[in-house]
Amino acid sequence: TGTGTGGTGGTGTVKARRSGIAWLASLFKVVLLRDRGRALLDRKPGRVLDIGCGNGDFLRFLKRRGWEVAGTDFSAEAAALARAKGIPVHRGDLASAAFPDRAFDVVTLWHVVEHLPHPHRELDEVERILRDDGLLVIEVPNSDCPTRRLCGTAWRQLDVPRHLQHFTPETLAAMLARSGFAVVRRQDFHAIDFDLVFYSVADRLGITRRTGIRYFSTDFRPASLRAKLAFLAFGLPIALLSLPYAAVATRLSGNGESLTVTCRKSRP
């Protein structure tokens, strides 16, 4: 479960630093933490598990606000980064962690479920370790968003072959119901949606291919000054339009780039 962006970056943050855009990664981290924290900060602090916790920034954010935290991740590098911040991390899948029944008040999975070959198995285990009055928070790419239809295979969150599953609000709710969860709250617009829109459109127009800059990609590498200038020249107009587009498209369609749902158990 460490292949997602659950911990606001994991190895992606390291790659960003090596590519000379650490300032951008830091800005996104602040925005992400505040956006994700909103789902929990109106709740009394308790025990939280972040599955696919990445570098542990989200859990550190909650720990500083009184939460007792724990994480899981497959990545040795990400787990080491999280542990260096004082976050207890189990390296491996959720089942192998063998947490006791009803151990957590909150369980979160930030862009993790789409990476799992059998996500219902993970959710069944979450149902076991979550307290009866607990919350499950899941965020996944929304394959029903307007940008996917606009950009087709250039949609940034398609991310084949790393993403094994894709969800609409309806299919996500159906999968959750199968494991005994009911959606009680849904969030469609996210502050960083403009970034996902920008890179999807830039890919669709061939800008990233021509400049050699691929931000959220496995071929993440430093770019030449010429490539950066070309990317800025071609990409700036798209960047300026991406945020208003994301806000308006989400409002009109009811579907944002990502889908965040808060769930409770639907059965005792």
The count of other CB atoms within 10 Å of the CB of residue 18 is 12
Rounded distance between C-alpha atoms, residue 173 and residue 263, angstroms:
9
- For 166-215, the pLDDT digits (tens) are 999 999 999 999 999 999 999 887 766 666 777 777 777 766 665 555 54
Distance from CA of residue 8 to its chain's centroid?
A: 7
Give the range of the structural domain holding residue 99, as residue numbers without chain letter: 11-190+255-265
The reply to whether 221 falls in a domain is no
Backbone torsions φ then ψ of 235, nearest 5 degrees: -90, -25
The reply to whether 214 falls in a domain is no
State the pLDDT confidence band at 7, using cuts at 50, 70 and 90.
very low
Least confident of 14-18, 20-24, 65-69, 164-168: 14-18
The count of other CB atoms within 10 Å of the CB of residue 195 is 22
Least confident of 39-43, 132-136, 199-203, 209-213: 209-213
- For 120-130, the pLDDT digits (tens) are 999 999 999 99
* Count of domains observed in the chain: 1
CATH number of the domain within which 43 lies: 3.40.50.150
State the pLDDT confidence band at 25, using cuts at 50, 70 and 90.
low
pTM, two decimals, is: 0.80
Q: Which candidate, 52, 59, 96, 105, places its Cα nearest to that of 74?
A: 52
The reply to whether 205 falls in a domain is no
The reply to whether 59 falls in a domain is yes
The reply to whether 209 falls in a domain is no
The reply to whether 98 falls in a domain is yes
The reply to whether 201 falls in a domain is no
pLDDT at 189: 72
The reply to whether 95 falls in a domain is yes
